[in-house]
């Protein structure tokens, strides 16, 4: 029989990566306040996403999961949210047309604040300071006061998530997502740079398809499916007190849902089988993800599947591989084979970001566009060889014109990283690099014969 689960049963397991809150009373007050607030999403929406992901697991749809590495309390504005959404919508149009299947859009947005860190302290000058763990915990300024975890930030993160989600809902249903508009933005990208011009043919095929539909009487005025989209929210379920405070019982089914986002995932550093994160997520009804690095054994992956999706519900579990361009083609195929043979119905997504991070000569944490593309190509080839469906990509991006990753559209150079390096955590693709990547993914799947 399955072990009993409650929203707080994680508390009797080891929870890695939790901040060292200075005052338990303050923490409890903040969590109690959040527990009294309304849910951010509804259980029914989480179930809709799970059904959409079941189509991905079956090879009939593709998932685009994208957004900030860490959302910021400072970079919080309508423009910032709009530009991020715009890029996600632009990428989705390219992928939908090229792959010929629906694209399930999931943002790393409206709650993606907390960051796992490899060290709890860092030396700055002569003093040891607690590391920055995301704006939901502390502030990156290098002083003891700024770095001390502050539970008021949990409440601020809830409030920012609510406002962000409100805007996401308005933008995606209120005309901003109109297919003809999104395509026009893509056309602008294609004509305005040498990288874009490589994709002229694809863009003109989309143009012809839109003209064809319009001629047949299917246009954005008559069909709301062409002007409204669903963008779901997701984040890493890292701070389990916060997640527990937003876990609510669904009045329709009686099941428990983590109503902080539609989808939650467990990171590479917190996926211990007997750990608190696996314990917490195994009991919520949301679709969930788990990161899988290159060193993960096939047995371990099967045990994770059994722990997180014992009932083998399609769409429930997404395995997000993040192996690095150099390792993916040796590490991934045995895992694909073992999971396929086990019969577990997982969604396979490729995070080509976290295995390809390095420090540039200028001292910036960065990623090369060519490595990101190479990991995606290796992912697609591995799936092609194993007869499994490369179901999605998981990307860190922003709509802003930052210079954080090297190469891609506008060929950003190592020496230019310093110009607009704005991330609060990992380096993100900027808007034009992201679109360049979407065209690349389309080409990669098409040339492998999978689309
Ligand atoms: C992340 O997705 O931002 C992250 C920290 O990833 P990982 O757990 O795969 O390192
Ligand atoms: Co990251």
Secondary element (H or E) of residue 350 = strand 347-350
Within-domain flag for 10: no
Residue 1 has pLDDT above 70, yes or no: no
- Total domains, the chain: 1
Question: Closest by alpha carbon to 207, among 101, 89, 93?
Answer: 93
Within-domain flag for 182: no
Residue 302 has pLDDT above 60, yes or no: yes
pLDDT value, residue 408: 94
Within-domain flag for 154: yes
Distance 139 CA to ligand 1 centre (A): 19
**Domain span including residue 118:** 25-177+228-447
Within-domain flag for 384: yes
For 279, the token pair is 């314990």
pLDDT value, residue 371: 98
Alpha-carbon distance 347 to 309, whole Å?
A: 12
Distance 26 CA to ligand 1 centre (A): 28
Task: Give the domain CATH number at 257.
Answer: 3.20.20.70
pLDDT value, residue 441: 97
User: b vs e for 406-442, b when ≥16 Cβ sit within 10 Å of the residue's Cβ?
Assistant: bbbbbebeeeebeeeebbbbbbbbbbbbbbbbbbbbb
Mean pLDDT of the chain: 96
pLDDT value, residue 125: 87
Within-domain flag for 54: yes
Three-state SS at 264? strand
As a whole number of angstroms, the longest Cα–Cα distance in the chain is 71
Pocket of ligand 1 (CB under 6 A): 69, 116, 236, 267-269, 291, 322, 354
* Mean pLDDT along residues 406-434: 95
Neighbours of ion ligand 2 (CB under 5 A): 69, 426
Within-domain flag for 220: no
Q: How confident is the model at residue 355 (pLDDT cuts 50, 70, 90)?
A: very high
To the question of pTM greater than 0.95 for the whole model, the response is yes
CB 319 within 8 A of CB 337: no
Within-domain flag for 311: yes
Q: Give the ligand with the smallest distance to the CA of 291.
A: 1
Listed in sequence order, the residues at least 6 apart from 57 whose beta carbon sits closer than 8 Å to its beta carbon are 314, 315, 345, 346, 347, 389, 391
Distance 213 CA to ligand 1 centre (A): 41
Query: Ligand 1 atom closest to Cα of 322?
Result: 9
Give the residue, out of 71, 134, 236, 367, with the most ligand 1 atoms within 8 A of its beta carbon, to mutate for a pocket test: 236
Could you report the per-residue pLDDT of 29-70, keeping only the tens digit for each?
999 999 999 999 999 999 999 999 999 999 999 999 999 999
Q: Whose alpha carbon is nearest atom 4 of ligand 1?
A: 267
Within-domain flag for 2: no
Alpha-carbon distance 301 to 281, whole Å?
A: 16
CB 405 within 8 A of CB 369: yes
Give the residue, out of 234, 397, 426, 427, with the most ligand 1 atoms within 8 A of its beta carbon, to mutate for a pocket test: 426
């Amino acid at each position: 029989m399955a072990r009993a689960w409650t929203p707080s049963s994680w508390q009797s397991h080891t929870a890695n990566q939790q901040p060292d809150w200075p005052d338990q009373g303050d923490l409890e007050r903040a969590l109690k306040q959040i527990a009294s607030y309304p849910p951010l999403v509804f259980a029914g929406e989480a179930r809709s996403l799970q059904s959409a992901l079941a189509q991905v697991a079956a090879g009939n749809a593709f998932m685009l999961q994208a957004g900030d590495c860490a959302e910021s309390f400072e970079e919080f504005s309508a423009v910032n949210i709009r530009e991020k959404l715009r890029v996600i919508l632009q990428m989705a149009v390219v992928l939908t047309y090229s792959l010929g299947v629906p694209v399930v859009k999931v943002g790393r947005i409206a709650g993606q604040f907390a960051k796992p860190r490899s060290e709890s302290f860092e030396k700055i000058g002569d003093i040891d300071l607690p590391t920055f763990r995301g704006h939901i915990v502390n502030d990156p300024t290098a002083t003891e006061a700024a770095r001390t975890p502050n539970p008021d930030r949990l409440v601020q993160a809830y409030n920012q998530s609510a406002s962000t989600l409100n805007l996401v809902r308005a933008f995606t249903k209120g005309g901003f997502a109109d297919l003809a508009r999104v395509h026009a933005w893509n056309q602008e990208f294609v004509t305005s740079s040498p990288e874009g011009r490589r994709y002229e043919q694809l863009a003109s095929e989309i143009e012809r398809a839109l003209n064809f539909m319009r001629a047949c009487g299917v246009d954005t005025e008559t069909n709301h499916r062409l002007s409204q989209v669903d963008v779901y929210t997701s984040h890493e379920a890292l701070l389990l007190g916060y997640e527990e405070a937003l876990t609510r019982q669904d009045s329709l089914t009686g099941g428990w849902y983590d109503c902080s986002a539609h989808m939650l995932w467990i990171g590479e550093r917190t996926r211990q089988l007997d750990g608190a994160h696996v314990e917490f997520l195994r009991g919520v009804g949301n679709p969930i993800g788990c990161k899988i690095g290159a060193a993960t054994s096939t047995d371990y992956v099967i045990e994770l599947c059994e722990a997180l999706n014992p009932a083998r519900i399609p769409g429930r579990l997404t395995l997000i591989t993040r192996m690095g361009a150099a390792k993916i083609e040796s590490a991934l195929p045995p895992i694909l084979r073992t999971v396929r043979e086990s019969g577990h119905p997982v969604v396979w997504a490729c995070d080509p970001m976290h295995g390809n991070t390095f420090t540039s000569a200028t001292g910036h944490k960065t990623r090369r566009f060519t490595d990101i593309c190479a990991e995606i190509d290796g992912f697609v080839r591995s799936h092609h060889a194993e007869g499994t469906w490369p179901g999605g990509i998981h990307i860190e991006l922003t709509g802003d014109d930052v210079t954080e990753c090297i190469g891609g559209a506008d060929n950003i150079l190592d020496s230019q990283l310093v110009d607009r390096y704005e991330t609060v955590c990992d380096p993100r693709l900027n808007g034009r690099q992201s679109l360049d990547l979407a065209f690349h993914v389309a080409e990669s799947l098409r040339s492998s014969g999978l689309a």
